[in-house]
Amino acid sequence: MYEISDKLYADVAEELIAAVGSRDYFSGSVCVEDGDVECELVTSLVVSHDDYDRSITSICPVWWECHTTIDGYEVDNDFSFSAMTNYLFD
């Protein structure tokens, strides 16, 4: 099983924030690479924003799955959406 690193969690969170933008609902995917590892998060989210500056205040996953590919082969991973949320709001 592939262990998702802090860096990979942070990279996925950064890409997800950019993909969500000002939407209140997001359904799609983000993909990041770290060397020979590719991580794709496919998700549907309900998103809350600050009324003043539209910054994201919370994200509630409706559904998600994370695919990790190393050298073209998909491997099991220990991705946790709740662990990734630690990197969403710094």
Three-state DSSP at 71 gives coil
Residues of the chain with pLDDT under 70: 90
Pair of tokens at residue 51: 């009324």
Q: State residue 90's pLDDT score.
A: 59
Q: Who contacts 69 (Cβ-Cβ below 8 Å, separation ≥6)?
A: 37, 38, 39, 40, 75
Q: State residue 78's pLDDT score.
A: 97
Q: State residue 12's pLDDT score.
A: 96
CA distances from 46 to 18, 68, 79 (A): 15, 24, 20
Q: State residue 52's pLDDT score.
A: 87
